[in-house]
Amino acid sequence: MEKVKKKIGSFSFWNWVTASIIFRLILIYFPKNLNLSSRPEVSTPLTSFRRLAEGYWLKQSFMSPYAGSMYHGSPLLLSLLGPLTINRIEGQPNHLLYSLVSVIADVVSAMLIRATGQNLRLAYLRSLESLDLVKQIEVSEFLFSGDIAALIYLCNPFTIVACVGLSTSPIENMAVILCLYGACSRLIPLAAFGWVIATHLSLYSAILIIPVIFLLGCGPDSPPRKLFLQRHQQKEVLNQSKLPPRFSWGPVIHFAFWAFLWSVYVLVLCGISLKQFGGLWEMFKSTYGFILTVEDLSPNIGVLWYFFAEVFEFFRNFFLIVFHVNILFMILPLAIRLRHRPCYLAFVYVAICSMLKSYPSVGDSALYLGLLGWFVNELADMQFSLFLFCGYVGVSLLSPVMHNLWIWRGTGNANFYFATAMVYACLQIVLVVEGVSAMLNHDRKLRNLITGKPQDAKS
């Protein structure tokens, strides 16, 4: 019976995957790309396809790709994807090759998410087994979180739009997922590679080093170690083999070595490609510097563009520091509280970054929503999930309308669009806060099951 169920599940999984791929391919064939590539939700100054093409053109005309204020991405991306911006097949849309690369990146990301999700699920089941909670929590009703996460990632309209809209975020997301996959399956060079590339493409991924270290040090997500000790104290037998491993420094050092190696490699490659155009300093200034100083004030789904358009010049630096420190301040408390669940920690970090980053796009949201799928079992009791879902749907419908009213029709004004951005930020905040709270409650529930306390003792 179980097997049949599984078979049906996996069969429909592959159906959904093919359906989403076909849907993407159909969208690619629409003329002018449905104008998605110039939507502010899809293409930020960092991920825009047109800017990539401009950078490539400048490079081809023997100028630094960073000569104007157009291109702010990585020089490697320029060398790899740049030729796709002009190479074309006769009779096909211009962007076909590039779109195919995005589709492949999406599919690869989904597969990696699936593999990681299965890994996490197995780890979770194993830890429940060792806690003897298999009976209390109906494991048979556990969903295949890997499949669900992969499907959420593939069928999410945000991902589809980012993929069809020719932004570079599918590739950035793939690097992040590669890093987490590598760390979960203990492929240390792969994890280091993913982390280095993700950091190189967008600065914010650098903080993923903390969850990666926890992942490598203590293995994938499990209930707190204390619970195991309590359980074994109750049973009066200390079975070391059933305990989760203690933090081991070996893989971490291994990871550091590989990360160093990869970053040197990446920097050398960048240096070579920018040798005659001002070198690496120029690159750091117009990629990381551009991210940190929020120079481009074109509208996006974040809130910082309007804030820095309106704020007085005198306070600009102060607020730049405040907003970036806001991300950094939360790293440590989260790391302390969620250290036993590194993948969940990674999800929270990704969500916070995509909420507070200077040029957010729907591609970033697509990533954390996909990762959220890994924890469907743990977050089953999350509050406000219907409200959040409706909020996401509402904002993603209203935001283009407001943008259209403001930019194209001239009947609305900037505040309309900013209001939707504000609501979106609030929704993300609620998601993160409720998510963290639900995960902590889940741990609490496990502890209560072990200590035999009634359910209502939480909070």
Partner 1 sequence: MVLLQRPHILLLLIGTHQFLQCWIAFGSVNEEGQKQEEFSEELLLKPLPDHKLLAHFHFQSSGPPSTSNGCHHHLFPKAISQLVQKFRIKEMELSFTKGRWNYESWGGFDPLSSSNAKPPGVELWAVFDVPQHHIDASWKNLTHTLSGLFCASINFLESTATYSTPEWSFPPASGNVRYGTLPCEAVCTENLTPWLKLLPCRDKAGIALLLDRPSLYRGFYHSQQLHLTSTGSSSEGIDSGIILEQTLTVVLQPNSEMAIEVHASEKHIQPSWSLSSIFGKQVSGRCVLAKPSSVYLLLDRGLSAANGLTSENFWSNPSFELSANPDRIFLEESSSHSKSLSILYMFQVEKYCESEPFDIGLMWKVPVAWLCQQTPLHASRFLMGSGNERAAIAISLKSTQFTEGFMSANSKDGSCELRVDVFQVVPWYVKVYFHSLRVFVDQQPRAVSDIIEKIHVSPSKDKMSPGVMEVVLKLPCRVNTAALTIEFDKGFLRIDEYLPDANQGFDIPSAIISFPNFHASMVFLEDDSLNKSPLLSKFQEKCPVMSYTEVLLVPLTTPDFSMPYNVITITCTVFALYFGSLLNVLQRRVAEEERFLKAKAAKKTGRLPLLLSKLSAKLRGSGINQN
- Whole-Å CA distances, 203 to 169, 274, 389, 400, 455: 13, 19, 29, 28, 42
> Which of 179, 370, 337 lies closest to 258, judged by CA?
179
- 186-205 residues in contact with partner 1 (CB under 8 A) are none
Dihedral of alpha carbons 119, 121, 122, 124, sign: positive
Among 257, 298, 317, 381, binds partner 1 (CB under 8 A): 298
- Give the shortest CB-175-to-partner 1 separation in angstroms: 26
- Give the shortest CB-141-to-partner 1 separation in angstroms: 27
> Between residues 28 and 348, which has the closer beta carbon with respect to partner 1?
348
Residues in CB range of 184: below 8 A, 6 or more apart: 116, 119, 120, 215, 220, 343
> Between residues 181 and 306, which has the closer beta carbon with respect to partner 1?
306
Q: Give the integer Cα–Cα distance in Å for 63 and 41.
A: 30
> Between residues 188 and 304, which has the closer beta carbon with respect to partner 1?
304
Among 21, 23, 54, 76, binds partner 1 (CB under 8 A): 54
Contact pattern for partner 1 over residues 305 through 334, marking x by CB under 8 A: xxxxxxxxx--------xx--x--xx--xx
> Between residues 107 and 166, which has the closer beta carbon with respect to partner 1?
166
Q: What is the DSSP annotation of 232-294?
A: HHHHT---GGGSPPPP-HHHHHHHHHHHHHHHHHHHHHHHHHTTTTTHHHHHHHHTHHHHHHT
Q: Give the integer Cα–Cα distance in Å for 447 and 226.
A: 9
Among 16, 38, 273, 278, binds partner 1 (CB under 8 A): 38
Answer yes or no whether residue 120 interacts with partner 1 by CB under 8 A.
no
- Give the shortest CB-306-to-partner 1 separation in angstroms: 6
- Whole-Å CA distances, 433 to 330, 331, 350, 356: 12, 14, 13, 14
Answer yes or no whether residue 42 interacts with partner 1 by CB under 8 A.
no
- 83-112 residues in contact with partner 1 (CB under 8 A) are 85
> Between residues 13 and 305, which has the closer beta carbon with respect to partner 1?
305
Give CA 175 to chain center in angstroms.
Answer: 9
Answer yes or no whether residue 143 interacts with partner 1 by CB under 8 A.
no
Answer yes or no whether residue 414 interacts with partner 1 by CB under 8 A.
yes
Among 10, 18, 87, 415, binds partner 1 (CB under 8 A): 415
Among 94, 243, 337, 383, binds partner 1 (CB under 8 A): 337
> Between residues 292 and 311, which has the closer beta carbon with respect to partner 1?
311
End-to-end CA distance of the chain: 39
Going by the DSSP 8-state scheme, the letter that residue 42 receives in this structure is T
Under 8 Å between Cβ of 255 and 192: yes
Answer yes or no whether residue 432 interacts with partner 1 by CB under 8 A.
yes
Going by the DSSP 8-state scheme, the letter that residue 297 receives in this structure is -
Answer yes or no whether residue 292 interacts with partner 1 by CB under 8 A.
no
Stretch of 106-114, 259-267, 373-381, 422-430 contacting partner 1, by CB under 8 A: 422-430
- Give the shortest CB-305-to-partner 1 separation in angstroms: 7
Answer yes or no whether residue 207 interacts with partner 1 by CB under 8 A.
no
Instruction: Provide φ and ψ at 382, rounded to 5°.
Output: -65, 140
Q: Give the integer Cα–Cα distance in Å for 20 and 154.
A: 6
Among 111, 137, 297, 398, binds partner 1 (CB under 8 A): 297
Stretch of 52-60, 119-127, 268-276, 360-368 contacting partner 1, by CB under 8 A: 52-60
Answer yes or no whether residue 406 interacts with partner 1 by CB under 8 A.
yes
Among 10, 34, 68, 229, binds partner 1 (CB under 8 A): 68
Under 8 Å between Cβ of 154 and 16: yes
Among 23, 57, 142, 384, binds partner 1 (CB under 8 A): 57
- Give the shortest CB-245-to-partner 1 separation in angstroms: 24
Tell me the residue ranges of DSSP E strands in 43-197.
Answer: none
Going by the DSSP 8-state scheme, the letter that residue 70 receives in this structure is S
Answer yes or no whether residue 12 interacts with partner 1 by CB under 8 A.
no
Per residue in 126-146, is it b (16+ CB within 10 Å) or e — as a string?
Answer: ebbebbebeeebeeeeeebbb
Q: Give the integer Cα–Cα distance in Å for 313 and 307.
A: 11
The binding site for partner 1 (CB under 8 A) comprises 38, 50, 53-54, 56-58, 61, 63, 67-70, 85, 295-299, 303, 305-313, 322-323, 326, 329-330, 333-334, 337, 355-356, 406-408, 410, 413-415, 418, 422, 425-426, 429, 432-433, 436-437, 440, 444, 459
